[in-house]
Amino acid sequence: MGRLEGKVAMVTAAARGMGRGIAVTLAREGADVVVSDIAGLEVLAPVKKEIEALGRSCEAVQTDVTDRAAVEDLVAVTAKKFGCLDIAVANAGITVQESVLDAKWENVLKTLEVTQFGAFHTCQFAARQMVRQIDSGRKGGKIVLTGSVHTELAVPNSAAYNMGKAAVVQLGRTLAVELAPYHINVNVVNPGWVDTPGSREYAGDEVVDAGGERIPWGRLGDPCDIGKAVAYLASDDADYVTGTTLLVDGGFRLGLK
């Protein structure tokens, strides 16, 4: 029996990469999962199929996290389908590699709309649902935000993303204080360099493969490494953990070889 048996989870940006790894790991731990992404339902179909193959129920919902009404609908669909929402993972984020001197404002704004404001929308509507459930007798809930090692390192050409993810960490801390009276845990996972389709599209296979050898742990992170961290924070094992930021980076922050 998994640690999340009987729980209902919702994960944004779950079509691939870390979001998919998180969603599948939560399902392995026993949760039924609603997966959402801005991509079409056909792009979400593989992760939905993978979750259902684990014997868990899964609903796929196309959602643009920059659209507040769409995020509110996502939470409503989750509650209607499964009767509750126990775990919400605000995972969506994008970046455009530009220096501050050369950055186009539309790229900065889009990065913040997805990475920072999208996290706010997801957390706000999920928290409101969890508080409503408490009034009907259901126990608290767990909110986990995906931050980044970029919140601790001044990575060049990523100012908007760095800024947005730093805001995500502070949002998590603030929400943890506000929701503590309801026993709703709020925490942040800060991944390091993770082997995702997005990383390979941006840097190329050669750079990604070589990068793993430079990390102290000897490899890049796997999306399921992040999923396992989220699963811990979403479980009763982390009942007394709130307002924290968990770094999951294989020693990346300590310095590359």
What is the predicted pLDDT for the residue at 255?
Answer: 83
- Per-residue exposure over 158-169, b if at least 16 CB sit within 10 Å of its own CB, e if not: bbbbbbbbbbbb
Distance of alpha carbon 85 from alpha carbon 190, whole angstroms: 23
Residue 50, classed as helix, strand or coil, is helix
- Greatest alpha-carbon span in the chain: 53
Beta bridge partners of 33: 9, 58
Counting as low any pLDDT under 50, the low residues of the chain are none
| pTM confidence score | 0.96
What is the predicted pLDDT for the residue at 114?
Answer: 98
In the chain, where are the structural domains located?
A: 8-192+223-251
Q: Quick one: CA torsion of 90, 141, 85, 70, rounded to 10 degrees?
A: -30
Class of domain 8-192+223-251: alpha beta
What is the predicted pLDDT for the residue at 206?
Answer: 81
- Which residues are designated catalytic? 161
What is the predicted pLDDT for the residue at 80?
Answer: 97
What is the predicted pLDDT for the residue at 94?
Answer: 94
